[in-house]
Every structure is written in C-alpha cells, then in structure tokens.
A and B are shown apart, each in its own frame.
Chain A
Amino acid sequence: MAPNWCGCGVASANSAKLSTNGLKLSSNRFNFSKPYPRRAYRVTAYYGLTTPPYELDALEPYMSKRTVEIHWGKHHNEHVEKLNRHLKTSAFYGHTLEEMVKATYNNGSPLVEFNDASSVWSHDFFWESMQPKGGSMPTGGVLDQIEKDFGSFTNFKDEFTFASLSLFGPGWVWLYLKRNEKKLAVAPTQNAISPLVWGDIPIIGLDMWEHAYYLDYKDDRSAYVNNFLDHLVSWHSVMVRMMRAEAFVNLGEPKIPVA
C-alpha cells in the first residue's frame, strides 16, 4: 500500500484504511481534516506514453509506419490510459512499473491492474528492443555470452524463432537472463506475461500478438520473426541491458587477454 506520508487527504474510497494516525478521513472528495494545518496539496503522478527512440517510419520496410502508428498510438496508448484509470483507485499507486507488474501478477492469480501494467512495461521494452538498421550480429561480451549459453548465435536464433512460432494464442517471446542459473535463455509467454513475473531479467522482448504483425505480414509469422532478428533487433539495447543486469547477476570474470 502506498503510504500517505505527505499528509494530504486521499481522494479514494480507501482513505479510511489508509489513515495512519487513527483519525477518520472523509471517504470521498478532497477533505483535509484538522491536524494538518499546512495547506496540503495532493500530488499525483501517473504514467505517460513513452515515445519510441526513433521516428515512426524508421523501421520500414520491416515494420511499417502504419503498424507502429496503430500499435503504439492505439494499443500501447490504450493500456497506458487504462492503467492510469486503475491507478486512481488502486493500492498500487506509487509503485514503480516493474514492482507493479510483479506484485499484481500475484503468483499466477493476476489482479485487475496486471494486464495493463504489464502491457505498458512490455511495450516500452519492445520499442526499445528495436532500432533502425538493427539485426545482423552482436559483438564482444554479448556475443560471447550468447555463444556460451546457446552454443552458437545460429542456435540462439533457431531457439528464438521456434519459441515464437510455438505460441498458442497471443503472447511474447523473450531473451532473458536467469538470475539463479546465471545464464541467458529464451522463453515464450502468454498474453501479457513477462519474465519480470518470475523474477528474471528481460533482455529482448518480441510482441507476438497478431496486432504486432498482421497489417504487414498477415498470417506469415515466421517472416515477421525472421525480419525482427535479421533487421530490427537492437544489439545496442541488449548490450546496455546486459551491463545493467550484471549489476545484479555475477556472470563471472571478464575475459581479459593475457599479454
């Protein structure tokens, strides 16, 4: 529960429960009760629609401007708006998005906020998993780690593709870092689930809902996935995410060449 430290009144039906000093706060409207002589302002902060780090037509011809406009401007935006509507009355107001995803997943019995919170997080992650003139191959430490954990880069691509085509119904495919095993792995997830819910660190996310590819590829999912891997995936983002992940997961000593 978001603590009411600012001392301001809370415009929600939960205000009676959130009162920390036993005084009865009014259950609706902005009613500030007496022990708070200062003028208390209610500060609220909701989520915004983050812009992809490239122009909407920059991923052509592998992802059309039309698809990005609708996918980002309508689907992703709708999730942001629905999440904010939930947050007006949700106990999870004040959580970071990652915390909210894990908490609202509720170990498999997701709460009402989960779908929108997780979709917002995953779509932000998705746009940043791609870049214009992406694809080809990673280099350096990322390539080393992939070769270590998958055998070869081609094996990784095959596993990723197989996972994406194995989905029954809408979902996502992830390259993620397992905290406990300290290795990279690929997994498909259903609907809005992401590796955040089981505590691992996502590195690449690919949206396999039909709205992500239908306008450009119709039912040809393998063309969509192949183009993603060959031309869109941002190995730069992967490198940055791996660097961040290594602050939490010890992947061993770096390979420093010996003179």
Chain B
Amino acid sequence: MALKSVFSRKTLAPALRHYRSVTTFTLPDLPYDYGALEPAISGEIMRLHHQKHHQTYVTNYNKALEQLDAAVSKGDAKGVVQLQSALKFNGGGHVNHSIFWQNLKPISEGGGEPPHGVLGWAIDKDFGSLEALVKKINSEGAALQGSGWVWLALDKEQKILKVETTPNQDPLVTKGASLVPLLGIDVWEHAYYLQYKNVRPDYLTNIWKVINWKYASEVYEKESA
C-alpha cells in the first residue's frame, strides 16, 4: 500500500510526526472606530477593552493551546486536565468578546434600531415586548455578583428565546449545549468602569443605543431555520 511505503522511509518519518501544528488565534479587528460608539461607550474603554483585555485572552489562549498540544502528545492526562480552567477562561474570553464586537454598532450605522421581522415577533412571543426583554436583561445584568456576561439566547431545542447569565468568561454553551448566543453584554467592570464607575445599571441602560439587532436577527434566522 502507498502508506506502507511512506512510513518505511525513515528520513520522512520525523517530518511526518511534526506536520500537525496548533491552530492559533488572532485578535479580530473591530468593524468600527474606537470612538464610534460614543457617548454610550467611551473610546478609551473600547480601545483598552479591545487592545488590552481581548488581546490578553487571545495571547493566553494560544499559550494554553500550545501547552495542551504538548500534554496531549505526551499522554500527560494530569497536565491536560490542569489546563482546562485556563482554556475555559481565555478561550471563553476570546469567544465571548468576538461575539460582543459584532453585537455593537455605531448609531450612524443602525446601532440601537429595534429588531424587525422574525426576531421581533419571537421577542414579543417569548417576553411580551422588547421593553420587557430589555428590562429583564438589565435587571439580571445588574444583579450579577462579580464578573460575567448576560445573554439573549436562542434555545435551538426548545425553539424559545431565553435570558441567561454566565460567570467570569464562561461561554454561553456552559449553560446549555443547545443555547446559541444572539446578544451578549459584558458586565465585567473593565467594560464600563472608566465611564460609569460603580453604576452598572446606567451602562446597561445606555448600551442599548448601540446594540446591533441586525446581527442578532441574522444569527436567529440562520439558527432557527
């Protein structure tokens, strides 16, 4: 067989063993300027949030992936398990923030415009009205102790919209494998502190002015098809 001949060539063997490398991640670009979401979110916060915090998650996630690859190759079960919290934290941070940047849009480009069509009807069906949904998300986001995220989620199995929270950087799937994130709002203090200080409720009230419902609608229509 062709395979046998390939493996018998000792000179190729070392190269074959190392052909697989870890797929690393890079910081995605923002689809708008740092200052474009003002006055809802200040340019200073957006810059730090993107260039420092998200970048750190990406860097550390890549590091953890390299370490995971090494541990897996060596068959180091203890090492693999030990890396799980770093993977969840940094990988989750990368996943969550990548969604977050898509969830925001400058007002001039349609940020804040309420959802129409299928998602709008689903919101009315599952929450009564958009105002009721916003109120629920704001109250759950404000009540979250410590750091985390508040999500508008589609439960693909039950075909219903839900509001969920996750602690720290846990991605939404940790709350349910059938949950798809439509909107996520970062309620870590770094997301609002420089501008709103301890008044998280004000941040939550104002962020709706730049929420990108168009993206949420697209995801909803794709995932509920």
Query: Which residues does A use to contact B, with CB under 8 Å?
Result: 70, 74-75, 78, 115, 168-170, 190-192, 209-211, 214-215, 218-219
Contacting pair A211 B168 (CB below 8 A): no
B190 on the A face (CB < 8 A): yes
With a cutoff of 8 Å between Cβ atoms, the chain B residues found around residue A218 in the complex are 48, 52, 194
Q: Write the nearest CB–CB distance from A219 to chain B, whole angstroms.
A: 4
Q: How large is the interface on B (under 10, 10 to 19, 20 to 34, 35 or more residues)?
A: 20 to 34
Contacting pair A115 B198 (CB below 8 A): no
B25 on the A face (CB < 8 A): no
With a cutoff of 8 Å between Cβ atoms, the chain A residues found around residue B52 in the complex are 218-219
Contacting pair A214 B190 (CB below 8 A): yes
Select one of B48, B85, B147, B197 contacting A219, CB under 8 A: B48
With a cutoff of 8 Å between Cβ atoms, the chain B residues found around residue A115 in the complex are 145
**Listed residue (B89, B190, B198) with the most chain A CB atoms within 10 angstroms of its CB:** B198
With a cutoff of 8 Å between Cβ atoms, the chain A residues found around residue B147 in the complex are 169-170, 210
Interface string of B84-95 (1 = CB under 8 A from A): 011001000000
Contacts of B114-137 to chain A: CB distance below 8 A: none
Contacting pair B145 A211 (CB below 8 A): no
B138 on the A face (CB < 8 A): no
B7 on the A face (CB < 8 A): no
A-B contacts, CB under 8 A, total: 51
Contacting pair B197 A74 (CB below 8 A): yes
Select one of B56, B168, B190 contacting A210, CB under 8 A: B190
With a cutoff of 8 Å between Cβ atoms, the chain B residues found around residue A190 in the complex are 146
Q: Which residue of A lies closest to B44 (CB)?
A: A218
23 contacts between A and B (CB under 8 A): A70-B197, A70-B198, A78-B198, A168-B85, A168-B86, A168-B89, A169-B89, A169-B146, A169-B147, A169-B167, A170-B146, A170-B147, A190-B146, A191-B146, A209-B146, A210-B147, A211-B198, A214-B193, A214-B194, A215-B193, A218-B52, A218-B194, A219-B52
Contacting pair B168 A168 (CB below 8 A): yes
With a cutoff of 8 Å between Cβ atoms, the chain B residues found around residue A70 in the complex are 197-198
Contacting pair A169 B48 (CB below 8 A): no
Q: Which residue of A lies closest to B51 (CB)?
A: A219
Contacting pair B189 A209 (CB below 8 A): yes
B53 on the A face (CB < 8 A): yes
Tell me the complex Cα distance, A74–B168, Å.
22
B188 on the A face (CB < 8 A): yes
Q: Which residue of A lies closest to B86 (CB)?
A: A168
With a cutoff of 8 Å between Cβ atoms, the chain B residues found around residue A209 in the complex are 146, 189
- A sample of 19 more A-B contacts (CB under 8 A), given A75-B198, A169-B147, is A74-B197, A78-B198, A168-B85, A168-B86, A168-B168, A169-B169, A190-B146, A191-B146, A192-B145, A209-B189, A210-B147, A210-B190, A210-B193, A211-B193, A214-B189, A214-B190, A215-B193, A215-B194, A218-B48
With a cutoff of 8 Å between Cβ atoms, the chain A residues found around residue B89 in the complex are 168-169
If A115-B145, A170-B146 touch, whether A219 touches B190 (CB-CB below 8 Å) is yes
**Listed residue (A74, A169, A190) with the most chain B CB atoms within 10 angstroms of its CB:** A169
